[in-house]
Amino acid sequence: MTTLKEQLKQQIIEALNLEDIHIEDIQDEDPLFGEGLGLDSIDALELIVLLDKQYGIKLTDPVKGKQIFSSINSLADFVAQNRCK
């Protein structure tokens, strides 16, 4: 699970062009949207593509998405339970 969280952080940094942000800067429980990393609506859509590409998970419900993306912890839980890759 720790490796998955680190992997997710690295993937997020790359996919969202978060220059000057490193794995150590992202806390597992910090909000990803709003405060914290300050991600926006395009970033949310990009995370959906990431889930599909890296983990074979297809997410189409934006309401569910908001909850899944609330932090690295919630994201890692969701990926661990639903991944096909």
One-letter-per-residue 3-state SS of the chain: CHHHHHHHHHHHHHHCCCCCCCHHHCCCCCCCECCCCCECHHHHHHHHHHHHHHHCCCCCCHHHHHHHCCCHHHHHHHHHHHCCC
Q: By CB under 8 A, tell whether 48 contacts other proteins.
A: yes
**CB nearer other proteins, residue 16 or residue 72:** 16
Answer for which of 62, 66, 80, 83 binds other proteins (CB under 8 A) is 62
Residue 34 vs 38, nearer CB to other proteins? 38
Tell me: does residue 34 bind other proteins (CB under 8 A): no
Residues in the site for other proteins, rule: CB under 8 A?
A: 15-20, 38, 40-43, 45-46, 48-49, 52-53, 60, 62
